[in-house]
Amino acid sequence: MPTSFPRHLLLAVVAFYDVTVGASALQPTPPMGFNNWSAFMCGLNESLFVETAQAMVEKGLLAAGYNRLNLDDCWSKGSREPNGSLLWNTEKFPRGLPWLTSYLKSLGFNSGIYTDAGINSCGGYPGSYGYEELDAEAFASWGFDYLKVDGCNMPVATEQEYELTYGHWHSVLSAMENPIIFSESAPAYFAEQDNLTDWYTVMGWVPKYGQLARHSRDTLVWNSTSYWPDITGWDSIMFNYGQEVRLARYQKPGYFNDPDFLIVDHFDLSLNEKRSHFAIWASLSAPLIISAYIPAFSADEIAYLTNKDLIAVNQDSLALQATLVSQDGTWDVLTRSLANDDRLLTLINRGNSTATYKIPFQRIGISASTVKVKDLWTGKTLSTSKLITASNVPSHGTAVYRISSGYGDIDVIPTGMIFNTASLNILTYSSQGLSWAVSVGSDNQIWQTIVDDTVRGIFDTSKCLTDLGGGKVSLTACSGSNTQKWEYYVTGNLISRSTGACLAETTHGDVITAQCQSESNSQVFGLPSGINVIGQ
């Protein structure tokens, strides 16, 4: 069960998360490249990586920024050497991994490798539990500068044991002469539980230790019908995206939430779905790691993967994750700010037919009367007033726009849904007052988070979310009182400045304040991108 925390103890927890590790420069923007797992699983070998690297050069992927090739599970021998060291499978890699990394470097690529935090890897190969220093030195000596540490087969599968192990990996990698980029899979082993306290707790410490973290299940592998016969390719993308949008508060330059690989050639995806997969991951500033047979890519696949405008969004130096403005069952609308004061708008058509959607400026936090809007698929720029129209977006297609004033900066207010990341219910206003309700995409579920720390609905910006005391919350006329000031923490708590109590959802969907708890399902909320996140 979650632990009750007075506000001063919650601040201590946040201080633990807010540790400067000096590692953000290792990977200031999301990594881009290739990994074998989704497409080939244990069928990796030297020829695959040589052929893939050559194709990435020839097809323009390296020039577009995909500068990394990472080995996944099953690269090693089935057991350790007599001295305890790991060694590559010499049948799969006859010239050795040092030769391979040297060859890849000669083409302009960096190299990554896989191990497991437990006793054995997910594929049954030797894990690194108890051998962290020895294995890290070997990986570095072979020429690898990136390490994915999976989380299978831990001797004790508790959150505390995972933190001890991954924290030890952080210490080992950080102490090396050339620190290694650290990809952590720990959160994935705590996702999809009824009580998300452990998941949230793990997500709180992974940014302290590494540069990216896999937070949930794998995207579909090439023979997915053998593993998940009832899950379509689109279902897989939407599921991982749905996990990602719960976690925006953790992301910052140098640390990225990882919703897993781009499965470009999966048999169950249409071209529109593949394009959406890429556009959504780009909008989230998620890692762009391809897992597919790149030599066989079509011209259409190369075209979207090398879209300069979408890659620029993905690699934006603010590293903000796009957050939800609204969801109505057909359309998901997301937005975020970019480093040059532009605004991003992403619209996902989850429906079964081509459709058009119009969104007023106020819904995405823009106060300007006229803006310039660049369609990041066509490259065309138009001026528009009051609203933006996404025309004829195909089923499972995604429209992406970059919005600029053309005459200076755009004034932006972080705007969007405030939602419980466990129940997914949305802060909603009606004539009966406030409640937590299912998302329907209406204005009475869209909120502004103002720089004065107030929360206001776009339906009436003269009224502020107010802590009335005694656990009661309402919308009242904005007065500047501390009862209307709220602070948002990386733990997901939204805390009243006047009482130190946390906003909460009851089992009946009531909006209340209550004594703050550590990572409690009822008190962890997602807020619009751009709000100040204390402890991040």
For domain 38-314, the CATH architecture is Alpha-Beta Barrel (3.20)
pLDDT computed for residue 14 by the predictor? 54
The C-alpha atoms of residue 55 and residue 513 are separated, in whole angstroms, by 56
The C-alpha atoms of residue 191 and residue 373 are separated, in whole angstroms, by 37
Hey, is 517 helix, strand or coil?
strand
pLDDT computed for residue 209 by the predictor? 98
pLDDT computed for residue 410 by the predictor? 81
The two domains 38-314 and 323-404 share their CATH topology (first three levels equal): no
Segments of the chain scoring below 50 in pLDDT? 1, 8, 19-21
C-beta separation of 76 from 126 below 8 A: yes
CATH number of 415-526: 2.80.10.50
Q: Please state, in angstroms and as integers, the Cα–Cα distance from residue 243 to each residue in 214, 246, 258, following that order.
A: 11, 6, 10
pLDDT computed for residue 227 by the predictor? 78
Q: Please state, in angstroms and as integers, the Cα–Cα distance from residue 172 to each residue in 134, 140, 179, 214, 525, following that order.
A: 10, 12, 9, 20, 34
pLDDT computed for residue 153 by the predictor? 99
How many other CB atoms are there within 10 angstroms of residue 382's CB atom?
A: 12
Hey, is 460 helix, strand or coil?
strand
What residues pair up with 385 in beta bridges, in sequence order? 370
pLDDT computed for residue 1 by the predictor? 44
Helical axes 197-209 vs 7-17, angle rounded to 10°: 40
pLDDT digits 0-9 by tens, 419-471: 999 999 999 999 999 999 999 999 999 999 999 999 999 999 999 999 999 99
Strands 212-214 and 256-258: parallel
pLDDT computed for residue 3 by the predictor? 54
Token representation of residue 337: 């700010």
The C-alpha atoms of residue 186 and residue 524 are separated, in whole angstroms, by 20
| Homologous superfamily in CATH for domain 323-404 | Golgi alpha-mannosidase II (2.60.40.1180)
pLDDT computed for residue 408 by the predictor? 62
The C-alpha atoms of residue 439 and residue 422 are separated, in whole angstroms, by 14
Hey, is 44 helix, strand or coil?
coil
pLDDT computed for residue 92 by the predictor? 99
| Unique residue bearing structure tokens 């997301």 | 334
Q: Where are the domains of the chain?
A: 38-314, 323-404, 415-526
For residue 107, the surrounding DSSP H or E stretch is helix 97-107
Strands (E), 312-396: 323-327, 331-337, 343-349, 355-360, 370-375, 381-385, 387-393
